[in-house]
Amino acid sequence: MPLFQTIQFNENTKILIWEITESFEELYSRVTLKEKTQRRLDGMKSQMHQRAFLSVRMLIQEMGFTDKDLHYDEFGKPYFDCDNHISITHSYHFAAIIISKEKVGIDMELQREKIQRIADKFTDYECDYLEPNSTEEYIKKLTVIWGAKEAIFKIRNEKGISFKDHINVDNFSLDKTQTQASLHFDDLVKDFDVHYQEVKSDNFDGTFTLVYAFEK
C-alpha cells in the first residue's frame, strides 16, 4: 500500500504515515540503500522490523530525499545534511516521519491495556489529573503522555533524561488535539507544543495514537 496519510501541519512541517502491507521483497525492490544502511538491515532479526525500516526509506523518498541523505548521530538520532529536522517512529504495521524546519519529535503507539501496569514508571506530575478508574480514557491519556515524552526525548536525546522525573505533560482533553509539556533536566528548562491524534486502519485491529512535539 502506498502512503497512508499526509499531514501538512504548517508550511515548514509535514508528517507522513506509511501502512506496512507490502512484503519485505517488494519494499526492498523500491529503495536504494547505502552500504552502511544495508549492513544495519542485514543485522535485523525481525522481518517486521526490516519492513518498518524500509518503509521509513519509502517515506523519505516521498519527501524527495534518499537513504544517502539520512544519517544518524552517536546517540542514534536521525538527521539530514540540511536545515530540515527529521524524527522517525514505527509501531506494528505503521511507520511515520515528521520533517520540519523546527526541532521536532514524533511517536506512534498502539493503545494497549498493559500500559496501565507501567504507568508509575513514566508518570508523576501527571498523576494530579489522571483518573485510573476511567479505564478507557485512562489508557488513551497514558498513551498520549508516553508518546509526548518519547517525542520530547527524541528532540533532546540527552543521556540521563527520565520520563517520570524530568518531563511534565500538562493536563489535556481527549476532545482536543494539543497540550503543552516541559523538560526540566539539570540546568536545562525547555517548553514544547504537543499535538496528538488517533490513527485507525481497516486492515488491522486496534487504535494507534500519533504524537508529535515542537520545541519552543
**pLDDT tens, residue by residue, 110-128:** 999 999 999 999 999 999 9
Q: Please, which pLDDT band fits residue 69 given cuts at 50, 70 and 90?
A: very high
Residue 2: the pLDDT is 80
| Domain limits, the chain | 3-102, 107-215
The amino acid occupying position 114 is K
Please give the residue that has the higher pLDDT: either 82 or 181.
181
Q: Mean pLDDT, to the nearest integer, of 94-99?
A: 98
**Residue 27 pLDDT > 80:** yes
Q: Rounded to the nearest 10 degrees, what angle do helices 47-62 and 35-42 cross at? A: 150
What mean pLDDT is predicted for residues 176-196? Answer: 98
Q: Do domains 3-102 and 107-215 have the same CATH topology?
A: yes
* pLDDT category of residue 134 using cuts at 50, 70 and 90: confident
Q: Which CATH superfamily is domain 107-215 in?
A: 4'-phosphopantetheinyl transferase domain (3.90.470.20)
Is the distance from CB of 29 to CB of 61 less than 8 angstroms? no
Band the pLDDT of 1: cuts 50, 70, 90.
low
| 157-173 tens-digit pLDDT | 888 999 999 999 999 99
Rounded to the nearest integer, the mean pLDDT of the chain is 97
Q: 3-102, which class in CATH?
A: alpha beta
Checking if the pLDDT of 30 tops 80, the result is: yes
